[in-house]
Every structure is written in C-alpha cells, then in structure tokens.
Amino acid sequence: MSSVSSLNRGWLAMMLAVFASLGIPAVSCAQSSDAGQAQKPVATDAGGKSPAASAWDRLVYVPFRNLQQTLAGDGAVAIVPVRVLNDWWQKLQALEARPVGDAAIGGGVAEARYDATIEGDLARVRVELAVRALTTEGLRLPLRFGEAALGELSCEDKRVWLRATGDGDYEIRLPEPGLYRVQFEMGVKVKTTPDGRELDFETPRAVTSSLQVKVPSADQAFELEPSAAAVETAVDEGASRLTARLPAAGRLRARWRPRSGDSPMQDALASVRNTTMVRLGDGLIQTDSRLDHQVLRGGLERVEILAPVGARILEVTAPGLKTWNVAPGENRQTITVELLGSETKRLPVRVLTEAPLPLETFPVAGLVQDAPVHGVHAGGAGAKTGWWCCRGLRTSQLSLSSSRD
C-alpha cells in the first residue's frame, strides 16, 4: 500500500512541476489541526474575491488516483497552451511542405525513356520510367507532365499506382524498397511555330533520359532543347527518326522542319475545290474564297493563288502558314503562300480581297490563259472545281449571266 501511495505522490509531484512550468499556480488545501481555532480575516482583491477564491478559478483538476489509466486511454483529451499548439502546428506544416522524392525521403527517377510518334497535330508518346525506392516506407514521388494527357499506367507490381494531385501534377506510389519499371502513354499537342513544328512537354528529372521522335516526312532537320549529348537521325520508309541522349531537365522540346531544297513544287500534285462568296455594294467588290487543297502526290511546301489586277489582298490564312507575299503581273497578281511543313495531305487556304465596283457590266469570275484574271483562283497544275455565290445590296440591281470560252 505504501508503494502505491509513493507512486501516486510521484505522479502528483510531476504534474505539479508541469503546471508550474506552464505558469499555473499550485493550489493546496490543508485541514487545520485545531478545529475550534478562530478564523483569521482574509484579504480580498480588487474584484472582491479572496486570493484563495481567485486561485480556485484557475485550478486544474488532476485524476490523481487513476492518472496512469487516464493518460493511456484512447479517448483521453490533452489541454495544452496555445503557444505550444502553434509551435506543433508550424512544425507539422514544415514537415508536410518538405518535397518528397528527394534524398530525405529516399528515392527518385533513375531512368526515363520517351518514344514519340507524330500523327498530324498529335504526338503519341510512350513513356517508360525506372523509379527506385530506398526506404522501408516505400516512396511517394511527384511527377509533372503539364498539359499532356496521360493514359493507363502499367507495372509488374500491381501495388504501384498513379494519382492526380493538381493541374498537370501527379504522384506515383511505390510500396517498398526496390526498382520499379512503369509504362504509360500520353498524348501531346504538336505546335506550329515560325521555326517549324514543335513537340514540347514537361518531364520529371531523371539520372539518364532518352528521346526518340518519328516524323512521317523524309529528311527533316531537328533541333533539341536541352542540347543532347548524342544525336542520331535516320530516314526509314519515308519517315524521319531522331534518337538522342538528354541531360536531366524538367522540360523536353523537339523541333523539326524540312531541309532546304526538299519537295519541289513540280513534284507535288493536288486537286483544289474553290468556294467563293462575292458581295457587291457600297462601291466595292468583296470576295471571301476558300481553296481546299487535297494532296494527291508529294508534299506541299508552298501554294500559288491568282487574284485580279487592282484587287487589294486583305488577308490570307492557312494551317501551318509561315508567310505569304504578293507579286503583281500584267494580267494577274500571284499570291505565294509558304508553309512550315510538307506532311499535310489536306490544306484549306482562305483569301479575302476587295476592289472598286465598276459602273458598267463586268466579269465576276473567270480564268483564261494569257488573259486578265477575274476572281480568286488556285494556281499550278491539278484538277480544279468549285462554286461561286454572288449577292448585292437591296438598293442595287444585280443581273448575272454566264459564258464559256
């Protein structure tokens, strides 16, 4: 019994010491040995309370008898000063903000391989990552691929899984120490720039990285960012292939364009469908022409479009447009449209023009060799078809006739 009392007294002394360190005054109550002794007057504070009463207002009750069982219980509640709670909270936030995947966690990407196949305006990129976890708790590794759309992840260990954590942000989870190889496919949009076509996406940093790009056009000139340590190019069945070893980087960018002198115009053959809207009024002839080129042979690096002499070329637009210029002639103006690549098989070109409206009868459309051109037409060889629509203002009189030469 005495040992239990000693233990209890030890617990009480420890708790009182804790209260003292937290600024809580120790309060004790002792029974007088002389029950009949007269009570002494007790001084009061400014609020009219005695010091003992004020102390009782700040008294903390301690379960003295069952203290150990209370502290060990699952439903136990601890009350701590706000200063201590803030300190704990700051330490917890600092722990959660610590980047995972670094040396403190124990793991990272050892190797990364990217195999991209260009299909029009989309690149299908096959990704293979070798990820190593070193700690017994496994690894939670953040990955960022930006605007790329990821497909399903595959791994021999089915416990490995990938989850999205934000816009373009992902996290891969590895269950235990070891080297894991994961594969997935992602889609990346191919951009068109003044310097050529471009594949650009964000990547996790890896010890070693390799990139392979296959473009469905022969003999392309490639540029890489960051600069590659070793680059190989090859042409295989009308397609250009790039293979490169890259340093650790958070973004990969591959750009390509045809080498100068490739795909001359005489090697290309295309049919053209011309759809033109003609508006007459306000003293102007305004035309909106759409020329749809369907490539039948070779590839298009440039196209020629014919316009009437005296017409003002307002705008020329086309997918993959690099530049356009107008060369005046005796019977026609020639618009040369330069393109960034030659791999497209369908090319819509839109041309807007305006010219003064004559007061007398005039031809709206017509193309005769060695004669003035009327309307907008596709130049070069190949089949040409199309239709024209002409309308005038309500206040104008419009009369149409057709003729064949």
Ordered DSSP codes for 63-131: --TTHHHHHHSTT------HHHHHHHHHHHHHHHHSPTTSTTTTEEEEEEEEEEEEETTEEEEEEEEEE
Q: Report whether 335 contacts 305 (CB < 8 A).
A: yes
CA–CA separation, 169 vs 148, rounded Å?
10
CB atoms < 10 A from the CB of 88, how many? 10
In single-letter form, the type of residue at position 290 comes to R
Q: Report whether 287 contacts 354 (CB < 8 A).
A: yes
Q: Report whether 181 contacts 155 (CB < 8 A).
A: yes
CA–CA separation, 313 vs 376, rounded Å?
10
Q: Which residues are CB-contacts of 200 (< 8 A; sequence separation ≥ 6)?
A: 188, 191, 251, 252, 253, 254
Q: Report whether 140 contacts 101 (CB < 8 A).
A: yes
pTM of whole model > 0.75? no
Q: Report whether 253 contacts 224 (CB < 8 A).
A: yes
362: closest CA among 309, 320, 400? 400
Instruction: List, as one string, the DSSP characters of 184-207.
Output: EEEEEEEEEETTEEEEEEE---EE
Query: Residue 356: in which H helix or E strand, if any?
Result: strand 346-356
Query: Residue 51: in which H helix or E strand, if any?
Result: helix 51-57
242: closest CA among 252, 251, 232? 232
217: closest CA among 124, 298, 321? 298
How high is the pLDDT of residue 83? 86
How high is the pLDDT of residue 300? 76
CA–CA separation, 214 vs 224, rounded Å?
14
Give, for all 405 residues of the chain, the pLDDT tens digit. 444 444 445 555 555 555 544 444 444 433 334 444 444 555 555 555 555 555 556 656 555 566 666 666 666 667 778 888 888 888 887 766 655 444 445 788 999 999 999 998 899 999 999 999 888 777 888 888 988 989 888 999 988 988 888 888 998 888 888 899 999 999 999 988 767 788 999 999 898 899 999 998 887 888 888 877 667 777 777 788 888 888 888 898 888 888 754 444 445 677 888 999 988 888 888 999 998 988 876 677 788 899 998 899 999 998 888 889 999 888 889 999 988 766 677 889 999 999 888 887 777 777 777 788 888 888 876 778 888 887 765 545 555 555 554
Q: In what order do the strands lie in the sheet with 284-297?
A: 312-317, 346-356, 284-297, 269-281, 384-392
343: closest CA among 147, 115, 117, 185? 117
What would you report as the CA-atom Rg of the chain, rounded to the nearest whole angstrom? 41
Q: Which residues are CB-contacts of 261 (< 8 A; sequence separation ≥ 6)?
A: none
Q: Kindly report whether the peptide bond that precedes residue 258 is cis, defined as omega within 30 degrees of 0.
A: no
How high is the pLDDT of residue 266? 42
351: closest CA among 300, 393, 308, 299? 308
Query: Residue 229: in which H helix or E strand, if any?
Result: none
Domains and CATH numbers, the chain: 107-258 (2.60.40.1730), 265-392 (2.60.40)
Q: Report whether 388 contacts 375 (CB < 8 A).
A: yes
Using CA atoms, how far residue 366 sits from 44, 323, 373, 381, 383, in Å, is: 114, 27, 6, 17, 16
Measured torsion, CA atoms of residues 342, 320, 325, 287, in degrees rounded to the nearest 10:
110
144: closest CA among 186, 96, 93? 186
How high is the pLDDT of residue 288? 93
